[in-house]
Structure 1
Amino acid sequence: MPSEATSAPASPPPPPPNFWGDMPEEEYYTSQGLRNTKSYFETPNGKLFTQSFLPLDGEIKGTVYMSHGYGSDSSWMFQKICISFSTWGYAVFAADLLGHGRSDGIRCYMGDMEKVAATSLAFFKHVRFSDPYKNLPAFLFGESMGGLVTLLMYFQSEPDTWTGLIFTAPLFVIPEDMKPSKPHLFAYGLLFGLADTWAAMPDNKIVGKAIKDPVKLKIIASNPQRYTGKPRVGTMRELLRKTEYVQENFGRVTIPVFTAHGTADGVSCPTSSKLLYERASSTDKTLKIYEGMYHSLIQGEPDENVEIVLKDMREWIDERVKRYGSKTA
């Protein structure tokens, strides 16, 4: 009898082009009540990939300038935060940090975080002082390592540039089990900077420690722009140095600040938010600690937890807009 032909195993279907599935981008954004634009912004340090999220209807209450965390980008699921604020009536602007996503730079190399901050700040100030937005309240928003970059941007800004600061799980204090080995950093330092860009530091599997919802973990892990290599020597050295620096300078924060953290955060110590709250000189400051929540409060928690966090943020920013109103830049 003739043998039956054996068919090759079917290859898995390609992943959808966006975290929400196959719906075309413009159609999806319209369904959310907003318009999205993408562009590149030239700086002395290289090009930044930037995005805007603008409400389709209603008066714009203010502007929000968002920075993502380590290894991430302003697209994929980070934009869920951008979309939320836009649906509340805010014009939202985001940029891939230098060395991340579609921006220029060595992937996830953060050897000079002051430069990284200055590069994003150049774009944010360009928008903040433009005619459509210069008289509106303006807020800086930072998630995780983006919170550290955001605080550095604030320190680099002229007084009265920003109305307030918003942080979610900011990386101001590195957990002990995440800290880079000082002997390793010293040994690499003996190579006179040659090892600074090496992806040679231990990988602590950050994504698994950040996301509680298993379905969302799979989606986030499939981000085509996500950095999956080991941490670079210079990045870990700089994170250690700059977290210590901001801890010593929390008192320089004088504007309204909102900071949020989960008690089960395995990436950034809840002490980060607590210390900022305790030491900031601001007379208007808010600390939210969420019992049992992980690092990624908006992208990675079950929906019911996400709604709690977003409700608190919306109430806070809407109240600050009413309280401080528009200003002349």
Structure 2
Amino acid sequence: MAGEEEKKETPPNFWGHMPEDEYYASQGVRNSQSYFETPNGKLFTQSFLPLDQEVKASVYMTHGYGSDTGWLFQKICINFATWGYAVFAADLLGHGRSDGLRCYMGDMEKIAATSVSFFTHVRKSEPYKDLPAFLFGESMGGATTMLMYFQSEPDAWTGLIFSAPLFVIPENMKPSKVRLFLYGMLFGVADTWASMPDNKMVGKAIKDPEKLKIIASNPRRYTGKPRVGTMREIARVCQYIQDNFARVSAPFLTVHGTSDGVTCPTSSQLLYEKASSSDKTLKLYDGMYHSLIQGEPDENADRVLGDMREWIDERVARYGPKIA
């Protein structure tokens, strides 16, 4: 029986029991982890730096709902680092190893401001202040990243990258207005209650069944029902972003699977149509699900990563510091 229990034990990382330093070195990157103090609580942060090449630019990554910067999300971070980018990521408040009530997103403006305070701190530091800098957001992290962009100084960021961003909620995922109204009548008491339907989001996000098993085994993944305030705030923020698409003037790439059952492909299409950016790119992938990099078969994930690499390399060449 003891042997069976050991087999069922979740390894400390998605790759198994190899020590972290050894794994990251095998991928060609150097990882560091630390906490960043803010007035709203501590953020758990990570950096992924290329081991044997010069840094071309910095990229600041934000994960999706219920996730964190570890487990499979860091595969995105590692890939960008192997291309020559310094990658920095922070667990959102209420997620992973950061402070806050688990998966409570009752004030997304504050949550975005907390993360962007860390990103801006790094972006303005000596090694990176003169290099191009990009914000990257996946899923709900896309909405949070857009709030960070709106909160930042003009021209603070060279470009934006969105992977299946949450700007438009699919009809079958929208929170019940009646339910939100009734909870709202409790004068905020119910805001943190984990009592909203979860609509089995994970199953709608991941196409590859083996990768679904790995993602589901993340010990830091939030598995409770959505909190009342989280759904209320996501609905508000999505509408706010839709109303302000025209304020987006930075270069951006947005990618989406046409079979995404968690965030509408319309999110990316509307951003592309309404943003005032002169340099904007939309990539739609026929038949792909929500989690384009962690959850698709390898050949699909590699296609998306290849498009991201081509886009960011071109922007660094176009907008980066000119070498005489």
**Residue matched to 2:275:** 280
Structure 2 CA distance for partners of 1:282 and 1:9, relative to 1, 3 Å: closer
CA distance in 2, matches of 1:250, 1:30: 40
Q: Give the counterpart letter for 2:168 in structure 1.
A: V
Q: Please state how far the C-alpha of 1:160 moved relative to its aligned partner.
A: 1.2
Q: Which runs of 5 or more structure 1 residues have no equivalent in the other structure?
A: 1-6
Q: Does 1:108 align with 2:103?
A: yes
CA distance in 2, matches of 1:308, 1:119: 33
Deviations 1:145-196 (A, max 9, x none): 0000000000000011100000000000000000000000000000000000
Residue from 37, 52, 61 that aligns with 1:57 = 52
Q: Does 1:11 align with 2:5?
A: yes
Q: Please state how far the C-alpha of 1:16 moved relative to its aligned partner.
A: 1.4
Residue from 28, 34, 37 that aligns with 1:33 = 28
Q: Please state how far the C-alpha of 1:17 moved relative to its aligned partner.
A: 1.1
Aligned with 1:321: secondary structure? helix
Residue from 185, 192, 197 that aligns with 1:202 = 197
Give the aligned CA root-mean-square deviation in angstroms: 1.1
Deviations 1:292-316 (A, max 9, x none): 0000000000000011000000000
Q: Give the counterpart letter for 1:265 in structure 2.
A: D
Q: Does 1:314 align with 2:309?
A: yes
Number of residues paired by the alignment? 321
Q: Please state how far the C-alpha of 1:12 moved relative to its aligned partner.
A: 5.0
**Residue matched to 2:159:** 164
Moved more, 192-201 or 10-19: 10-19
Q: Does 1:69 align with 2:64?
A: yes
**Residue matched to 1:4:** none
CA distance in 1, matches of 2:11, 2:68: 17
Deviations 1:249-269 (A, max 9, x none): 000000100000000000000
Matches within 5 A, 1:215-254: 215-254=210-249
CA distance in 2, matches of 1:204, 1:15: 26
- TM (norm. structure 1) is 0.96
Q: Which runs of 5 or more structure 2 residues have no equivalent in the other structure?
A: none
Q: Does 1:271 align with 2:244?
A: no
CA distance in 2, matches of 1:191, 1:130: 46
Structure 2 CA distance for partners of 1:247 and 1:214, relative to 1, 3 Å: same
Q: Does 1:302 align with 2:297?
A: yes
Aligned with 1:69: secondary structure? coil
Q: Give the counterpart letter for 1:113 in structure 2.
A: M
Q: Give the counterpart letter for 1:241 in structure 2.
A: R
Deviations 1:272-326 (A, max 9, x none): 0000000000000000000000000000000000110000000000000000012
Q: Give the counterpart letter for 1:244 in structure 2.
A: Q
Aligned structure 1 segments of 4 or more residues deviating by more than 4 angstroms: none
Q: Please state how far the C-alpha of 1:10 moved relative to its aligned partner.
A: 3.7
Deviations 1:226-247 (A, max 9, x none): 0000000000000000000000
Q: Greater CA radius of gyration, 1 or 2?
A: 1
**Residue matched to 1:3:** none
Matches within 5 A, 1:152-191: 152-191=147-186
Q: Give the counterpart letter for 2:81 in structure 1.
A: S
Aligned with 1:11: secondary structure? helix
- TM (norm. structure 2) is 0.98
CA distance in 1, matches of 2:303, 2:3: 45
Q: Give the counterpart letter for 2:77 in structure 1.
A: C
Q: Give the counterpart letter for 2:230 in structure 1.
A: T
Work out the percentage of aligned pairs sharing the same amino acid.
Answer: 77
Q: Give the counterpart letter for 1:185 in structure 2.
A: L
Q: Please state how far the C-alpha of 1:9 moved relative to its aligned partner.
A: 8.7
Structure 2 CA distance for partners of 1:8 and 1:217, relative to 1, 3 Å: closer
CA distance in 1, matches of 2:2, 2:304: 48
